Amino acid sequence: MSQKIRIKLKSYDHYLVDKSAEKIVKIVKATKAVVSGPIPLPTEKKIFTVNKSTFVNKKSREQFQLFTYKRLIEIFYNQSSKT
């Protein structure tokens, strides 16, 4: 019987996503399962625009960005049953 596990990792820090994916792949390979990935998924980008001043100067604004990094890991495990 074949089993498939999909793990989707999300983080605001790309370093943490890469290190976590690396650890998962290392552990899964030790169990002799087949690993596909880590597959980089599209990065989400959110932009927030706020006024610098609370009362006047509508033209003076500041922008902030928030990136969400994603990785996908697929694990395939073939379990042979003995009767």
- 12 in helix, strand or coil? coil
Concatenated DSSP letters of 36-62: EEEEEEEEEEEEEEEESSSSS-TT-EE
CATH architecture group of domain 2-78: 2-Layer Sandwich (3.30)
**Residue 65 confidence (pLDDT) above 80:** yes
**Given a cut of 80, is residue 82 above it in pLDDT?**
no
pTM score above 0.75? yes
Confidence of residue 6 (pLDDT cuts 50, 70, 90): very high
What is the per-residue pLDDT across 17-62, written as a single tens digit (0 to 9) for each? 999 999 999 999 898 888 988 999 999 999 999 998 888 888 899 9
Q: Where are the domains of the chain?
A: 2-78
Task: Quote the pLDDT of residue 83.
Answer: 46
Q: 64 Cβ partners below 8 Å, 6+ apart?
A: 47, 48, 49, 50
Measured CA distances, 68 to 5, 7, 22, 32, 64 (Å): 22, 16, 18, 31, 14
